[in-house]
C-alpha cells in the first residue's frame, strides 16, 4: 500500500477557536515537539484579520520558526490575494487558499459571495510567484452548517471554475461540519478525481463531530487520496460552523494507518505525549481515542507494577 502524508493542522485549525491567548513561545515549543515526532508537514497558522481570529496574529513569528526546521514543509492559510502577499513577504513557500462551496458558509466565513471568492482566487493565483506551492481548500464540500447537505454538482462545478486557473495545485475537499459519512466521502472524491484526473494531488480535511473522523479518512484513502489533515489531541472546530467540534486526531490516524500497514513516518509514542500537551491547552476542546487508550494502558501497567 502507498504511504500516507499527514498534514498536522494543530497550530492553525486546532488552536484557532481557543479563546485564551496562547503565548507565541508556547506555540513554537509545540511546533518543535510535533516536528520531533516525524511529522513532515504542518499548517502553522493563517494570515487573516487579527480581529476575526486573534489567535492567529503571531503567525509570522511561528512561520519563521517553522522555516528554520530542516525538512519541515510549513503551509499557512490565506483567504485573499492581499493576505497571500503578506505571507510570501514573511517567507511562506506553501499557501492554502480557502473558499466554501456553500454560499451561506462563504458569507459567514469570508464575508463575500462564492463568485467574489472565485474572482479573488483568480487574482491570488495570478499574483502568487510560481515557486510558491498552492493548496486549494474547498470548505463545506460535503455539508454546510447552515443549509445542510451540499450538492455534488455544486462542488464539481466550482472545481471546474477554479482548476483551469492554475492546474498544478493540491485540492483539498473539506468536511467542515464533520457530518459527512464514509460512503459520501468515497463517492464525492471518486467523482472529483474522475472529472479532473489531471489535478496535481488530492487531499481530505475532516472533523470528528460525529465520530466519523477516522472512518472518513479511511474512505478518502480508499478513494485515492494520499494527503490527509489532522490535529494532535483532536483539537479544533471552525468558528464559523456552529456545532462542529475538533479535527480528527493525528494520533488516531497514525495508529489506524500504521496498523493497516500504511507508513506515515510518525512516531506514535512521541506523538501521544505531544497530543496530551496540546489537549491541556487552556480553553481547548480535545478529542481522539488513541490518547485515551494509551493513558489507560499506562495506568494499568503502573497498577500492575505496584501489586
Any idea what the Cα angle at residue 278 is, between residues 275 and 283, rounded to 5°?
Answer: 140
Judge contact between 256 and 27, C-beta under 8 A.
Answer: no
- DSSP-derived 3-state class of residue 39: coil
Name the residue among 88, 197, 200, 80 with its Cα closest to residue 135.
Answer: 200
User: Which residues are paired to 138 by β-bridges?
Assistant: 99, 173
- For the record, the C-alpha cell of 205 comes out as 480535511
Name the residue among 118, 181, 124, 172 with its Cα closest to residue 149.
Answer: 181
Judge contact between 150 and 101, C-beta under 8 A.
Answer: yes
Q: Exposure of 12 by Cβ count < 10 A (0-12 exposed, 13-18 middle, 19+ buried)? A: buried
Using CA atoms, how far apart are residues 125 and 215, in angstroms rounded to an integer? 33
Catalytic residue ranges: 238
Using CA atoms, how far apart are residues 223 and 245, in angstroms rounded to an integer? 25
- DSSP-derived 3-state class of residue 258: helix
Any idea what the Cα angle at residue 140 is, between residues 288 and 188, rounded to 5°?
Answer: 90
Amino acid at each position: 500500500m502507498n504511504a500516507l502524508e499527514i498534514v498536522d493542522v494543530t497550530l492553525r485549525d486546532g488552536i484557532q477557536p481557543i479563546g485564551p491567548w496562547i503565548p507565541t513561545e508556547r506555540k513554537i515549543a509545540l511546533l518543535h515537539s510535533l516536528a520531533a515526532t516525524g511529522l513532515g508537514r504542518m499548517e502553522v497558522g493563517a494570515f487573516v484579520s487579527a480581529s476575526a481570529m486573534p489567535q492567529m496574529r503571531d503567525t509570522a513569528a511561528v512561520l519563521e520558526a517553522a522555516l528554520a526546521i530542516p525538512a519541515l514543509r510549513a503551509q499557512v492559510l490565506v483567504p485573499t490575494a492581499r493576505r497571500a502577499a503578506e505571507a510570501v513577504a514573511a517567507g511562506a513557500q506553501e499557501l492554502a487558499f480557502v473558499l466554501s462551496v456553500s454560499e451561506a458558509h462563504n458569507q459567514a466565513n469570508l464575508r463575500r459571495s462564492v463568485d467574489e471568492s472565485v474572482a479573488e482566487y483568480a487574482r491570488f493565483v495570478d499574483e502568487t510567484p510560481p515557486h510558491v506551492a498552492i493548496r486549494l481548500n474547498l470548505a463545506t464540500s460535503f455539508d454546510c452548517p447552515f443549509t445542510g447537505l451540499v450538492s455534488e454538482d455544486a462542488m464539481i462545478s466550482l472545481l471546474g471554475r477554479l482548476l483551469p486557473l492554475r492546474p498544478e495545485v493540491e485540492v483539498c475537499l473539506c468536511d467542515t461540519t464533520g457530518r459527512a459519512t464514509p460512503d459520501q466521502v468515497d463517492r464525492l472524491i471518486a467523482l472529483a478525481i474522475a472529472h479532473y484526473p489531471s489535478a496535481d494531488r488530492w487531499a481530505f480535511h475532516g472533523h470528528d463531530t460525529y465520530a466519523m473522523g477516522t472512518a472518513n479518512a479511511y474512505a478518502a484513502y480508499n478513494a485515492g487520496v494520499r494527503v490527509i489533515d489532522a490535529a494532535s489531541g483532536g483539537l479544533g472546530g471552525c468558528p464559523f460552523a456552529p456545532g462542529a467540534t475538533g479535527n480528527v486526531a493525528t494520533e488516531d490516524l497514525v495508529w489506524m494507518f500504521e496498523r493497516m500497514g500504511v507508513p506515515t513516518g510518525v512516531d506514535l509514542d512521541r506523538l501521544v505525549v505531544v497530543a496530551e500537551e496540546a489537549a491541556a491547552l487552556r480553553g481547548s476542546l480535545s478529542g481522539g481515542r488513541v490518547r485515551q487508550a494509551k493513558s489507560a494502558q499506562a495506568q494499568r501497567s503502573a497498577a500492575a507494577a505496584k501489586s
